[in-house]
Each structure stands twice: as C-alpha cells, then as structure tokens.
Amino acid sequence: MEYRVEQLAEATGVRVDTVRFYQGKGLIPPPERRGRIAIYGQEHLEQLRRVRELLDQGFRLAQIETLLAPSNSARSPSSGGTGEGALLRELVSNRVGRRTLTREELARESGVPAPLIQAIEAAGLMEPVEVGGQERFDEADLEMARAGLEIIGAGFPLNELLRIAMSHAAHVGEVTDSAIDLFDEHVRRNGPSAGNDQAIAEIFRALIPHVTRLVALHFQRTLVNRALTRLRRSGEESELEFAVAVAESGQLEVAWRA
C-alpha cells in the first residue's frame, strides 16, 4: 500500500511535520520520489509505529536512533561503539515480550480482581508498559499475579503481605541499580567485549536467567534456613522433622523460563 505524507501521518496518529522530523533524524527511511510527490509504503508505516511504541515505553529519541539504525545489525565486532544498539533491542525484547495483556485481560487470566491489581500497581510491585499509548502487562506480570493469588489463598492477610512485598521491592530496586552499574562498568564499557554490540547483548541474554536463579535460590535458602532455626528454638520437633524432610527431599525448586 502507498501513502502520501498526509495519509501516513493520519494512519499513525501523528502530525505531518512529525513524520518529516523523524525522517530527518533517520528514524524512518526516505520516501520514494515521483516528481515532487513523496510516496511512503508499508515499511514506513511499520517503522513509524515502532518509533511511537518506543517513545510510549519511555525511550528517548537518541536511544531510538541507536535501536533502529540499520548499521547496528551489520556492525562488525571490531567496529567500536558502546554496545547500546543490540543491548537496547535485548532490553525491549525482555521487557515487552511477544504477548501483552490489558489490565482486564490480566485480571481475567490470573483470577486476581482488577481492583487488587491496581493496588499492587500502586504499591510499586507491578509496572505496566505503554504500547501504542495503552498500558499493557506481560507474561511475567501474569505469573506474578497467579503466584500472589496462591499465597493469599494460603491464608496470608493481604495488607501485611503487601507491606512485606513493598519492603522487598524497595530493596530489590537498590540492588538491581547496583547490579546495572556493575554490568555497565565492567562488561559494557570496559569488559573484553566492550564495543561489540552483539556480544554484549548475548552476555546480557545469558546472564538474565543465571542472575534470576541466583537471587531466587538465595531467597529460598534464606527462607528455609530461618524457618528451620525458628522451629528449633521453639522446640516444635514434629514440625521441624517434617520441614527438614521437605527441604532435603528436593521438592523445593526454582524454575526460570527464558
């Protein structure tokens, strides 16, 4: 399908001068020229929609230029750079994923009432992304909602559970900021693969499941050990024996699905 600039702007919900601005920045390729008329195609439509989605997700224009630049995919390992292009693509892929849900879909599929999901959001435990100007949730949010529902179903009071979860989220934020600083300093900027976009993206992709498993296993081990210690102190021998048996049977498992 072919579009004049006015039609392309209308199809994507932007102004004509915005289309031309993005074109001047190299965010969309130049149109085909037929005399004095600029003709745009499906490629321009899809690219422009992609720019709008990335802007909605909070990326700056400079980052989007890096993310969408054709040279990123063709860059050789020795061509230099900061490793941002491929890494940005990997971050977008990990955050957005292939399937997203509206708040109503999340509530329906998880079984968690929409008002409770809003309370979880307000507590900072769940962060939607904006896709096409609409707040969307991903598969990780769906799994977290289902897990939270199971925990509440075990008898935990919601208010107290939210309080603990908020405290945990605050500390996780601090730790992850420090971890990002380490990755940036020792891998992306000064590591052996510094300047190699694709290699850095591969390292990031490989590290995500390992870091996730490391954190989850540490939390699990700490939880079990402290629970066992409390049972020993209280002298509840029957509960202690059962807890030790469960811990040693290998029934406790942490899974990561890439």
Least confident of 72-86, 118-132, 171-185, 228-242: 72-86
pLDDT score for 93? 63
Same-domain status, 21 and 63: yes
- Are 1 and 42 in contact by the 8 Å Cβ rule? The answer is yes
pLDDT in tens, 32-79: 999 989 999 999 999 998 888 777 766 777 778 777 765 444 333 333
pLDDT score for 62? 75
Q: Is residue 83 part of a domain?
A: no
- Are 221 and 233 in contact by the 8 Å Cβ rule? The answer is no
Q: Is residue 89 part of a domain?
A: no
Final residue of a structural domain among 156, 176, 204: 156
Final residue of a structural domain among 137, 156, 175: 156
Helices marked H in 97-196: 103-110, 114-122, 139-153, 158-183
Same-domain status, 63 and 43: yes
Q: What is the percent of the chain with per-residue pLDDT over 90, rounded to a whole number?
A: 24
pLDDT score for 7? 94
Same-domain status, 167 and 257: yes
| pLDDT, average across residues 178-205 | 87
pLDDT score for 73? 42
- Measured distance CA(2)–CA(34) in Å, rounded: 12
Q: Is residue 144 part of a domain?
A: yes
pLDDT in tens, 4-33: 999 999 999 889 999 999 998 888 999 999
pLDDT score for 250? 53
Same-domain status, 200 and 134: no
Q: Is residue 198 part of a domain?
A: yes
CATH number of the domain at 138, please: 1.10.1660.10
Same-domain status, 169 and 251: yes
Same-domain status, 217 and 128: no
Same-domain status, 138 and 167: no
Q: Is residue 17 part of a domain?
A: yes
Same-domain status, 167 and 238: yes
Same-domain status, 139 and 183: no
pLDDT score for 75? 39
- Measured distance CA(234)–CA(216) in Å, rounded: 27
Same-domain status, 184 and 123: no
Range of the domain at 115: 99-156
Structural domain count, the chain? 3
Least confident of 152-161, 184-193, 194-203: 194-203
Q: Is residue 146 part of a domain?
A: yes
pLDDT score for 68? 76
pLDDT score for 34? 92
224/29: higher pLDDT: 29
- Measured distance CA(46)–CA(156) in Å, rounded: 47
Residues 6+ apart with CB under 8 A from 37: 4
Same-domain status, 169 and 144: no
- Are 217 and 247 in contact by the 8 Å Cβ rule? The answer is no
Residue found by looking up tokens 């009071």 in the block: 157
Same-domain status, 50 and 103: no
pLDDT score for 228? 80
Q: Is residue 226 part of a domain?
A: yes
Q: Is residue 74 part of a domain?
A: no
250/146: higher pLDDT: 146
Residue 252 Cα distances to 117, 224, 225, angstroms: 28, 10, 13
pLDDT in tens, 71-123: 444 333 333 444 456 676 666 666 555 577 889 999 999 999 988 898 888 87
pLDDT score for 204? 86
